[in-house]
Amino acid sequence: MKIYLLSIVLLSALCFQAQSQTREIQALKDWRFYNGDAELASQSGFDDSSWEKVTVPHDWAIKGPFDKDIDKQVVRIEQNNETVATEKTGRTGALPFIGVGWYRTNVSVAEVNSGKQIILAFDGAMSNAEVFVNGKKVGNRPYGYSYFYFDITDELQAGKENVIAVRLENQAFSSRWYPGAGIYRKVNLIIKDAVSFKHWGHYITTPYIGNGLAKINIKSQVQGDNVVIKTTLRDANGKVVAENMVSQRFGDEIEQNISLDNPEIWGTDSPYLYTATLELHQGGVLKDTEEIRFGVRDIKYSRENGFELNGEVVKFKGVCLHHDLGPLGIAINRAALKRQLTILKDLGVNAIRSSHNMPSIEQLELCDEMGFMFLAESFDEWKKPKVKNGYNLYFDEWAEKDIVDLVHATRNHPSIVMWSAGNEVPDQHGSAGVKRAKWIQDIFHREDPTRPVTVGMDQVQNAMANGFGAILDVPGLNYRLPLYEEAYELFPQGFILGSETASTVSSRGVYKFPVEKGPNKTYDDYQSSSYDLEYCSWSNIPEDDFVWQDDKPWVIGEFVWTGFDYLGEPTPYDDYWPSRSSYFGILDLAGIPKDRYYLYRSRWNTEDETLHMLPHWNWEGREGEKTPVFVYTNYSSAELFVNGKSQGIQKKDSTSNLHRYRLMWMDVVYEPGEIRVVAFDDSGNEVAEKSIKTAGKPHRILLEADRETISADGEDLSFVTATIVDKDGIPVPHAMNRLDFEVTGNGSFKAVCNGDATSLEMFHLPTMKVFNGKLVVIVQASEKAGDIKLKVKGKGLKASELKLSSQN
């Protein structure tokens, strides 16, 4: 009864006493930038008027130019099983990320040192960040992927222009891919009462779900005495579904357990999100408010069933993603991230691995909303180096802090179902590495007991021999298919994860003859064949992984290397020039699907029909020669026709991994005209067909936008695919025409990309050659609503226009 009466008194106080203004968040977007070291640039009186005006998030290196001598390395890549060191000219993207960059901005605050606390929070800055306020250094953070913040209350002056300066420095030999440069994720100034929730202070879990009820556990870190938390839970429509009030405190933590009736469950097919509004009161005055979105979901890993989501066995159909956004570089953009995830959703992907770095908040928010599970990775290196100036330099001092901040910043996202402590770390050798793995995993467990930890292991034999793999919650194998059975027998967990798989290489729209399966194939044009039979010495074709995923219940899924091409690591051409981006992607650097997209889609997207043919049918000079035709489909059989003549029926079977998942007509003789495929259901009924025709000469440009209406916020993007077609509208697969772009109205040209790993054309200039008939041009909205017009023209082609609109 006393507790009940106390609650009434507290509630009355909250309702009838005056309330103060709660926290204010200022997004610091407008900065001055200088590429180079600048003496006294941290000082308030420094003249930065000649510096470039930029908007954060920002990548200073993405505009290029490409240069083979940038970060040129003579190195033997152990992860690629190389035995001899060779010159690598495009390993980190050949873009000018090395060096020093300075950022400066001014902020004004009405009050300081009057019961306020002011936090300066960074989601990521690449790299070796040093932060100054009014000339005084307030802190540093070396790891470019870390979240970090500083309390700058005592350094600010009320009613004056306060200068925030950030010095970044990227060293040579510090990365294995294009790391980018600059303040590439958002920066916020958070002004709140000193009596408030601590930064990243909430931890929401759902430890019980069943019988029409969910237990919502909320732990909140608070600062200030005699405080009360009032919590309101709302459903996706904003309706209040539960309320709670609590003041009992242990140290600086207040814990709540709230009952939620008939909860909607978060899952990949129905990613339902609730919102918790948490109010902190002191003496009846509202001191702080935060809103946290969360999902009600249950995850479980077991020897018996592998991975379960909400009580159902689920396999990871995942892809690995580097952090760059192709022609946009590493500067985070929500529209670009959503486009990636929308394409991957159609592919049938249900999980993302952030490789090999900490994810952005925007990416996690979108995965929460769109229904993707997430494997959040932390490091590519521990104590032992892969590159001279990598994370190994900072591991001893910073590893624990970096992990803690990662977990605290992201742990309320229901999409995260696993942490990755590292990728192919050389520490897999020896007892010191085993102890390191245990130490790191224990930190993750301490900060978040609800999720397991994995490591992407490539030295599997060592990990089996020394116990490294045995101590992990989830043993992750990168490739090493011949060791799957042995690892399963030796590891105690009872399951393994394909933490990195395939690494098949291909170039969109490129086909090589004769059609042969094999590793490390290279050609004079520095392209890889899109027959999807080429891979690296340490990897394999997709079907080799499909068999393990389909036939072994103890293999709990895979994360394919990679979903999209990325800047840097141009294997198998990393010692060739020009070659500056990867060939691993299921989609190219512009986000255009390669043929391999449809092979994965035929297996992963179980809701929609897939029927895809390759290659194209423009082969002047190959008349009379064998030109194999492959079909990727979710149907089990099909018949192929060349100019109306049947080439026979092919059926999927288990005679080989290839025949199990592809339909292949190896003896087709090329003749111009039309190839057509007719697919059959299991009863032999014709259910779908598709055709490809020989195209004529390039005639005009077909423009197709991913979204024709975008937001007038100065940040939203429309991605427009330009395709060269003949007079009959048939795509011209060999077209390499140069196109020019003009954007007028309430928008601007942002960037362009053709997906060619060997192209040295700069992304930010409004001109580029198409690659095998296609490219993607990116249009950015202004902050004013209205029409936007994109005009595209090319020599000898009929110009095209596309009307877009931006809305408030």
Distance CA 703, CA 711 (A): 20
Please list the residues that pair with 740 across neighbouring strands.
767, 793
Choosing from 130, 169, 447, 500, which is the catalytic residue? 500
Other CB atoms within a 10 A radius of the CB of residue 510 amount to 21
Active-site annotation holds for 377: no
- Lookup: tokens for 437: 């793995």
3-state secondary structure of 76: coil
Q: Measuring CA to CA, which residue among 460, 661, 476 is closest to residue 558?
A: 476
Phi, psi of 521 (to 5 degrees): -75, 135
Amino acid at 275: T
Distance CA 759, CA 771 (A): 9
Listed in sequence order, the residues at least 6 apart from 14 whose beta carbon sits closer than 8 Å to its beta carbon are: 228, 230, 245, 279, 281, 284, 286
Please list the residues that pair with 192 across neighbouring strands.
117
> 261: burial class by Cβ within 10 Å (0-12, 13-18, 19+)?
exposed
Instruction: Check if the beta carbon of residue 353 is closer than 8 Å to that of residue 321.
Output: yes
What is the sign, positive or negative, of the torsion defined by CA atoms of 564, 565, 569, 572? positive
- Lookup: tokens for 367: 């995965």
- Lookup: tokens for 227: 């405080």
Listed in sequence order, the residues at least 6 apart from 259 whose beta carbon sits closer than 8 Å to its beta carbon are: 213, 214, 215, 216, 242
Choosing from 130, 381, 424, 534, which is the catalytic residue? 424
Can you spell out the DSSP letters for 174-211?
--SS----B--S-EEEEEEESSEEEEEEEEEEEEEEET
- Name the CA radius of gyration of the chain, rounded: 28
Distance CA 100, CA 371 (A): 39
Amino acid at 37: D
DSSP 8-class letter at 586? S
Amino acid at 325: L
Other CB atoms within a 10 A radius of the CB of residue 106 amount to 15
Distance CA 716, CA 333 (A): 8
- Lookup: tokens for 378: 């932390």
Active-site annotation holds for 362: no
Distance CA 771, CA 755 (A): 7
Distance CA 190, CA 26 (A): 6
Distance CA 733, CA 169 (A): 43
Residues involved in catalysis: 424, 500
